[in-house]
Structure 1
Amino acid sequence: MSRLAHPVRTPDRSPDPAAAAGAGGTAARGGTVTVRMARWSATHPWLAIALWVALVVGCVALGTTTSLRQADDLDFARGQSGAATRWLHDAGLAEPDTENVLVTARSGPLDDAAARAALTDAARRLRPLPAVRGVGAVAIAPDRSAMTVQATLRDADADADDVRPLLAVTSAVQRAHPSVRVEQVGAVSLNAAVDELVGEDLATAAMMSTPVTLLILLVAFGAVVAAGVPVLIALSAVAAATGLSTLASHLVPDSGSTSAMILLMGMAVGVDYSLFYVKRMREEQRAGHDRVDAVELAAETSGHAVLVSGFAVLAAMLGLYLADDAIFDSLATGSITVVAIAVLGSLTVLPALLVKLGRAVDRPRVPVLWRLTAHHREPRVWPALLRPSLRHPARTLGITVAVLGALALPALGLHLQSSGAATVPDQVAAKHTLERLDAAFPDQRAETTVVVKAAPGAAAAVRAALRDVSAAAVSAAPFRGATTELRTSSDAAVHVLSLATAVDADSGPAHDGVVLLRRGLVARELTGIASARWAVGGETATNADDDRHLADRLPWVIGFVVVLTMLIMGWVFRSVPIALVTAAMNLLSAGVSFGVLVLVFQHSWADSLLGFESTGRVVNWIPLFMFAVLFGLSMDYHVFVISRVREARERGLPPRRAIRDGIVGSAGTVSSAALIMVSVFTIFAALHLVEMKQFGVGLAVAVLVDAIVVREIVLPSALLLLGDRVWPAAVRRPAA
């Protein structure tokens, strides 16, 4: 009979609180889910490893054989502008995508003859392409600095594959006409260029994050194999989740950033969960337990911390679905998938690997680093950092919270904006082409639409009313000088008035125009047409609706995440004070993160440092998503630290000593895990896309503050001031 079938020795410590959740603070090790999973994996290591490999390979195979469904305009549609988009789509009035071939001079004035020759050549080559419906006439800029032809695509939802032949034609025309600059730009080609850059950035991030993470783990473990195991678990979780996300995109369309979040979250939590587990197993081995007992004890303590932390992250990500937004749905789905797989790997294949590797897990040893990690002396840094909290908890708590509060104050000036051309990195050549096109042909920069849906019998009245809307609008400041167009569907049920103005879509005048139409003008002119329903759409209206929608949903998401994480902590630790302290500390860390976002990205002092151009705003989806991620990730450290403090208290140590031993004993692991997360997030801050920079900087700051300042200074001060009131009666045992 296997030795695991017999009772195993119980160390001089109580089980993790999660393990004891159902038994008044104590539990038999054999009865916990994590221990049973570890025991099965330890007794069937090759089967556990084979099943994990099969899972990863199967998920990757699904991803490679399934097409990715990307979110389109209808998936993003919401509010009044969303209604306009849907009506136009259903009526067949949605404008097909267009691509402009732009010719400008390399220097000096434009040579008209050379420009016309280049555009004539481009039109001749473009017309036969299957994706092209037609090519317009040559348009000349008012100042004659540029000429362009517009190619209309056959589909209203064209993708990168559709415009690739057009880009090839443009490149060929440039080679044939080197005396002028020949470029192409349009919504589809610009998005394709951004997607290509994002793909290159993700490859760079993956290539950089792996060696950086390995280096940190080498310092933490002092052995190559021990450092490689967490990275292996994390990379396999990322691979499996990436494959599954392709399949999931047919239920929740991919927003374009899902793969980036899978990589970021997978490397962060996958490595951290394995780090907690391996660190605890080695600690138990140093305490005299053999390999299998040490794995089980790690499963009972750190394994339960991983399980609880994983549930907390999943709960936080679930809150994003309340945003009712295609971007958040996509990011939440990717994050939930990779976190769930990382938790599963940490609780199943990791114990199997550790048992199978045996002593080899500590080979080969890095001489200096191994000596540093193998000694049993208490570190000096953490007791010194903790000393003010233990000696003067009230004063330390007050000063630290005041400083963190001051860092959070700039968050009150947070301004948001939707992603658009202004947030496209300068490294995308198509962005500069678009700027030259807008400068040469300013009358086409922003288009607002008024869409009316009515009974076909009211078509004449609707068209007359829309002509009156047009006349009134162009006489008002926001639309003065606008070009207008009125179109009607084939069944005469849908009508659209387009107003194109020479202002930027995100400018104040453009927003004033939307307000003018929505707050009275359209409704007044359509009075008397009983069957008429109307909606104002266009890029400006869409951005305004997006911002309003997120602002309305923000309290619901924050409330859901805060309340649910409080419930999880309250249930696991059987303590209302612990739940309240958790929420308060997470909110403090989030506030600091938002304050730093404002200081860095709404001002220009960090532009050259981080390689971006400040727009004075933060991308609108970043704060909400970052809040949910931060609340989830901070539970890694919080559960781990609180568990160690509670273990010490259950052993009978007095409150002050229990807090000291728990925090000092966990500080090394927490700091290593935080350093890994910070390094991964910092790599994302170095990528080109401003959204990734904002997300990376915000989370790097939040994790650093949360792990070092909040957990090592604020938490012990708060616990000491609250005393034994934070623990249930079963934990408050007198000191021996």
Structure 2
Amino acid sequence: MALALSRLGAFSHRHRLAVVLVWLVVLVAGGVGAVTLAGETSSRFDIPGQESTVALDRIGEEFGAGSEGATARVVVVAPDGQTVTTPENAGALGALVAEIGELPGVTSATNPLDPAAPSVNREQTTAYSTVTFDAAPGEVTPAQQEALLDVVEGAGEGGLTVEVTGEATQEPPHVGGPAEAIGVVVALLVLAVTYGALAVAGMNLLSALVGVGIGVMGVTIATGFVDLSSTTPTLAAMLGLAVGIDYALFIITRYRQELRHGSDVGTAIATAVGTAGSAVVTAGLTVVIALAGLFVVGIPFLTQMGVAAAATIVVAVLVALTLVPAALGFLGLRALPRTQRGAAADGGGEAGGRGFLLGWAGTVTRRRVGSLLLAVVALAVISVPFFSMQTTLVQMPPEGSTQARADDLLARGFGEGFNGPLTVLFEGDGAAETAARVTPAVAELDDVVIVTPPIPDADGDAALLTVIPESGPTDPATEQLVADLRAELTDLDGGVQASVTGQTAVSVDVARSLDDALPVYLTLVVGLALVLLVLVFRSILVPLVGVLGFLLTIGASLGATVAVFQWGWLADAVNLDSTGPLISLTPILVIGILFGLAMDYQIFLVSRMHEAHSHGVSPLESIRTGFRQAAPVVVAAALIMSSVFAGFVPAGEATIKSIAFALASGILFDAFVVRMVIVPAALALLGERAWWLPRWLRWLPVLDVEGAALEKAAGRHAERPDLVGATRR
């Protein structure tokens, strides 16, 4: 692989203008395609074939509800001591409903005081109007939303309290806000400090932006042909930008090292792509497999998110292997600070120096037992909240928003469960009679407040029963009620079948499916990590150390996320609007993404240690030598990745917010605790045994990540300038 990649790097250098032009053409074509072919994204998260989803589709067929557009609830509360039915309040309410009914895109707005279908609480202090749009959920335009919000705000200036909530008022996710821009600026500053040259830092960032731009525009084009989640483009942008910057960083850093060793520009590019490029391909492959491996969960929307993000990673790898070396060909020696260019041209080499990081490695390897225990205990303590993690698909609106105030008014007027009703669909001959017969038993279940009379369909072979829980839609008691309902309604007489559905039941089913799939997926990625690292390092104990460290990273990352987003610790620091269960997608996506990124650091750091050891350096000195060479890059990469992810936290939508926080914190835990403390301390403890491979596994193929084939081809294996001063065995 190293030889093939070095030839690709040399080709990109020789034909650098053509390579740059090709990528620009692809970028422009992607932009044109995104503008002309893009479709709408979906905010619906469900699993085809699960009971609640099938029942929802059946309700649309039996009762004609499937043709309705997005809806909103306009909640009206009378002044203290009054009711909404007084002549003055009733008149204002009727005028409000009439005005809403004339808004653009609105097909109907119900009158809460209609005697045929009243929507007023028992005390007659709270009422709501259901507003239906002609657009499907997620497709209500900002102008239509703004018109509704303006009317609601104006109506609230009178004596009535008026707020609005519902799917029709939800804003679409955004990419590229001020917070995300701050993350990119931080990344540029870190690159500038790392390189000591602003031009190289800008080139690194620009190449990553080209890759993520092409990837995201490709996902956008796909929305015109495939029903993708609204979260998918944001996830692809977040991950593609972070890894794109890092992969370019790996190659540029190795290129600069080769220049300092006296290589000419063409040779340095070929060697950098053959060595660091091999690590980039291996690391990118782990991310791609981890994301594409989400298909084993069996949830289509999650598979689509994983495949879209994986495709963006592939683009980032291709950019790093072709566009970056082409750009380096234009920069030449200017990739080095001005003070180092003369020494590089004379083959002055690279000073070993101690520096802070080398001192860090010396301290960790000398005090290996204490360092290892301290790091493991610290991550274990941070992981404690993980064991109380709760998940849901119900997204809570931001505190202080009209949606949050409306939900609060509905909960106070009708009960907490009103915001998360459960629907039971009865199908079969005598469905309505069976529903009426079981209603008393349903009403006796724990956490049930109200059971409405059954509503039959036009043919009489289906009926709907609405169950209002006492608890809210994200409460564990509601999840238990779903299970109790299903247990109560099994084996009904007369062949009638009952299905529990509604958005709350869908959320419960998806959350349970994801929780059940989590151990399977974790086992998959851990097994993959072991196999991959055994192939890369031809060792058993090094992969075990890396994988156990990854498990600590996952525990600490999700533990910190639970503490902040579920318990509310440091909530103000991340601009958290409300606390509660994590979005169901968070754990499994975080595991998949962090797996790939953790393996990035493991491969890049430990491969330099393995490279030194394979050249005859003693085990302890190989750790320090490899650490000195690779740790600066890992530090920069971790700071960049965490900054990019953190940029999506302050203003991110609910689905992305917790994922971005978990990734940002997980990167810091993995890079600065696992890879820079636990790994060197554990390898120092193991000594020569760290690189032991059983005889019965020596048939495994050799993945030449360090580029040994290049050294042999160039006759450079006799003495490495970067290993001078290291102790030989």
Q: TM-score range by the shorter chain?
A: 0.7 to 0.9
What is residue 599 of structure 2 aligned with on the other side? Answer: 635
In the TM superposition, residue 569 of structure 1 has moved relative to its aligned partner by 2.0
Matches within 5 A, 1:359-508: 359-362=333-336, 376=351, 378-413=353-388, 415-421=389-395, 423-426=396-399, 428-442=401-415, 444-454=418-428, 458=429, 461-488=430-457, 490-501=458-469, 503-507=471-475
Shift of 1:402: 3.2
The AA in structure 2 aligned to 1:469 is V
Distance 2:43 2:676 in 1: 46
SS at match of 2:467: strand
Match of 1:70 in 2: 41
Identity of aligned residues (%): 26
Structure 1 counterpart of 2:498:
534
- Identify if the C-alpha distance between structure 1 residues 204 and 106 changes in structure 2 by more than 3 Å, giving closer, same or farther: farther
Deviation at 1:636, TM superposition (A): 1.6
Could you tell me how far 1:416 is from its partner in structure 2?
A: 1.5
Q: Aligned AA for 1:304?
A: S
Match of 2:220 among 243, 246, 267: 246
Work out the CA distance in 2 between the residues paired with 1:589 and 1:495. Answer: 50
Q: 1:695 — aligned with what?
A: 659
1:90 to 40, 54, 61: 61
Contact 1:252–1:330 (Cα < 8 Å) also in 2:
no
Instruction: Find the partner of 1:290 among 244, 247, 264.
Output: 264
Q: Name the SS for the 1:185 alignment partner.
A: strand
CA distance 1:355–1:290, change in 2 (3 Å)? same
The one of 152, 156, 167 equivalent to 1:188 is: 167
Matched, 1:577 2:541: yes
Answer whether contact 2:604 2:630 (CA < 8 A) is retained. Answer: yes
Matched, 1:264 2:238: yes
Number of equivalenced pairs: 683
1:130-141 maps to which residues of 2 (within 5 A)? 131-139=105-113, 140-141=120-121
1:60 aligns with 2:31: yes
CA distance in 2, matches of 1:264, 1:163: 24
Compare 471-480 and 257-266 and name the one that shifted more. Answer: 471-480
Structure-1 separation of matches of 2:146 and 2:412:
22
Asked if 1:341 corresponds to 2:315, the answer is yes
The 1:479/1:394 distance shift into structure 2, 3 A limit, reads closer
* Match status 1:720 vs 2:681: no
Does 296-305 or 163-172 show the bigger shift?
163-172
**CA-to-partner distance for each residue in 1:103-157, whole Å, 9 max, x for gaps?**
44688867855543443333333445674443322344544544443334457x4
Mapping 1:638-649, distance limit 5 Å = 638-649=602-613
**Displacement of 1:646 after TM fit?**
1.8
- Write the deviation string for residues 185-213 of structure 1: whole angstroms up to 9, x where unpaired: 3432232x3x2xx42x7422332122111
- Alignment of structure 1 residues 6-25 onto 2, 5 Å: 19=2
In the alignment, the residues of structure 2 paired with residue 509 and residue 640 of structure 1 have an alpha-carbon distance, to the nearest angstrom, of: 47
Q: How far off its partner does 1:406 sit?
A: 3.0
Instruction: Report the Cα offset of residue 592 of structure 1.
Output: 1.8
| Cα distance in 2 for residues equivalent to 1:181 and 1:233 | 55
Structure 2 regions of 5+ residues with no counterpart?
Answer: 114-119, 341-348, 703-707, 709-716, 719-726
Alignment match, 2:275? 301
CA deviation string 1:487-509 (max 9, x = no partner)? 32x55554332234564223355
For residues 478 and 707 of structure 1, what CA distance do their matches in structure 2 show?
46
Give 1:392 shift: 4.4
CA 1:331–1:89 in structure 2 vs 1: closer, same or farther (change >3 Å)?
Answer: same
Structure 1, 597-606 or 330-339: larger mean CA deviation? 597-606
Report deviation, 1:642: 1.7
Distance 2:99 2:663 in 1: 48
Mapping of 1:166-245 within 5 angstroms? 167-168=146-147, 171-172=150-151, 174-175=153-154, 178-180=157-159, 183=162, 185-191=164-170, 193=171, 195=172, 198-199=173-174, 202-245=176-219
In structure 2, distance between residues paired with 1:577 and 1:451: 55
Give the distance between the partners of 1:614 and 1:433, measured in 2 at CA. Answer: 15
Q: Assess if the C-alpha contact under 8 Å between 1:306 and 1:343 holds in 2.
A: yes
For residues 313 and 259 of structure 1, what CA distance do their matches in structure 2 show?
17
SS of 2:130's partner is strand
Shift of 1:375: 8.2
Alignment counterpart, residue 131 of structure 2, candidates 151, 173, 183? 151
What residue is the counterpart of 1:523 in the other structure?
490
Aligned equivalent of 1:357: 331
Q: 1:99 aligns with which of 72, 76, 86?
A: 72
Residue 47 in 1 paired to residue 18 in 2? Answer: yes
Query: Alpha carbons of 1:402 and 1:211: their partners in 2 closer, same or farther (altered >3 Å)?
Result: closer
After TM superposition, the structure 1 stretch with the greater mean CA deviation from structure 2, 695-704 or 682-691, is 682-691
Q: What is the CA distance between 1:438 and its match in structure 2?
A: 3.5
538-547 vs 652-661, which moves further: 538-547
| Rounded Cα–Cα distance in structure 2 between residues aligned with 1:165 and 1:635 | 46
Q: What runs of 5+ residues in structure 1 fail to find an aligned partner?
A: 1-17, 20-31, 367-373
Does the CA contact (< 8 Å) of 1:242 and 1:262 recur in 2? yes
The 3 A distance-change label for structure 1 pair 470 and 54 is: same
CA displacement 1:3-49 (0-9 Å, x = unmatched): xxxxxxxxxxxxxxx63xxxxxxxxxxxx221121111111111100
1:651 paired to 2:615:
yes
Task: Select between 352-361 and 499-508 the one with higher mean Cα deviation.
Answer: 499-508
Cα gap change, 1:104 to 1:507, in 2 (>3 Å): same
- Aligned in 2, Cα 1:473/1:365: closer, same or farther, shift over 3 Å? farther
2:306 is aligned, of 315, 320, 332, to 332
Give 1:704's aligned residue: 668
8 A contact 2:456–2:464 mirrored in 1: yes
Q: TM-score w.r.t. structure 2 length?
A: 0.85
Check conservation: 2:260, 2:350, Cα contact below 8 A: no
Contact 1:225 1:364 in 2 (8 A): no
Does structure 2 retain, via aligned residues, the 8 Å contact 1:382–1:664?
yes
Q: In 1, Cα distance between the equivalents of 2:680 and 2:296? A: 34
Q: Secondary structure at the match of 1:523?
A: coil
Contact 1:126 1:166 in 2 (8 A): no
Closer/same/farther in 2, CA of residues 605 and 584 from structure 1, 3 Å limit: closer
Judged with a 3 Å threshold, the aligned counterparts in structure 2 of structure 1 residues 479 and 44 are, in CA distance, closer, same or farther, namely: same
Which secondary structure state, in structure 1, belongs to the residue aligned with residue 75 of structure 2? strand
1:483-542 deviation line (CA, Å, top 9, x unaligned): 334232x5555433223456422335534542332113x225x2232xx43311123322
SS in 2 for 1:91: helix
Measured at CA, do residues 642 and 256 of structure 1 come closer, stay the same or move farther in structure 2, by a change above 3 Å?
Answer: same
- Residue 383 of structure 1 and its aligned partner are, at CA, apart by 2.4
